[in-house]
């Protein structure tokens, strides 16, 4: 009994580390992160359309989109595995050369997306617009340095 419990606890501790590198090939990691980015772009783009007046602002939809982006923002990072600078990707090799900076930019994006999800639950349009702009800056700031034009 004790052994079984120990095995379960050990597995629970080991699994998260194993998940971090669960791709068979670099191409799978590239596909994974690109899929996440495309879901982020769709959700973020719709929020932008509402803020720019291209469509009516719907607070419930906007908030739901912001929640989606906050959750999705946590996904792409896992796909930037070693060796996945080669292949069908726009990621520059600099991602892996300056990994610590890249990682911190990715964390800043996640933090901004989380703040946007919180702001979206308020009725303060200025707060929402500022939080949206901060998140957009995170996207662009990283693309300018780490993504092919």
Residue number, 11 or 38, with CB nearest to ligand ASC: 38
Q: Is 87 in the site for ligand ASC (CB under 6 A)?
A: no
Residue number, 117 or 139, with CB nearest to ligand ASC: 139
Cα 22 from Cα 131, distance rounded (Å): 33
Token pair in block for residue 132: 């949206």
Cα 88 from Cα 98, distance rounded (Å): 21
Helix (H, G, I), strand (E, B) or coil at 81: coil
Site mask, ligand ASC, residues 128-147, x = CB under 6 A? --------x--xx--x----
Least distance from C-beta 140 to ligand ASC, angstroms?
3
Least distance from C-beta 17 to ligand ASC, angstroms?
31
For ligand ASC, the binding residues in 17-76 under the rule CB under 6 A are 41, 44-45, 48
What's the number of CA atoms in the CB half-sphere (13 Å) around residue 25?
6
Cα 70 from Cα 11, distance rounded (Å): 28
Least distance from C-beta 125 to ligand ASC, angstroms?
19
Number of residues interacting with ligand ASC: please give it, by CB under 6 A: 8
Pick from 69, 62, 51: which is nearest to 135 by CA? 69
Least distance from C-beta 45 to ligand ASC, angstroms?
4
- 124 phi, psi to nearest 5 deg: -85, 100
What's the number of CA atoms in the CB half-sphere (13 Å) around residue 77?
19
Residue number, 94 or 147, with CB nearest to ligand ASC: 147
Which residues bind to ligand ASC, rule: CB under 6 A? 41, 44-45, 48, 136, 139-140, 143
């Amino acid at each position: 009994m004790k052994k079984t419990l120990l095995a379960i606890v050990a597995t629970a501790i080991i699994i998260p580390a194993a998940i971090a590198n669960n791709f068979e090939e670099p191409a799978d990691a590239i596909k994974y992160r690109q899929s996440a980015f495309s879901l982020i772009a769709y959700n973020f783009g719709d929020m932008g359309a509402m803020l720019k007046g291209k469509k009516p602002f719907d607070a419930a939809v906007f908030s739901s989109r912001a929640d989606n982006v906050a959750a999705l923002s946590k996904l792409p990072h896992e796909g930037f595995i070693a060796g996945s600078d080669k292949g069908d990707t726009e990621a520059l090799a600099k991602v892996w050369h300056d990994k610590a900076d890249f990682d911190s930019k990715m964390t800043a994006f996640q933090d901004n997306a989380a703040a946007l999800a919180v702001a979206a639950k308020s009725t303060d349009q200025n707060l929402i617009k500022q939080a949206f702009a901060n998140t957009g800056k995170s996207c662009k700031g990283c693309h300018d340095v780490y993504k092919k034009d």
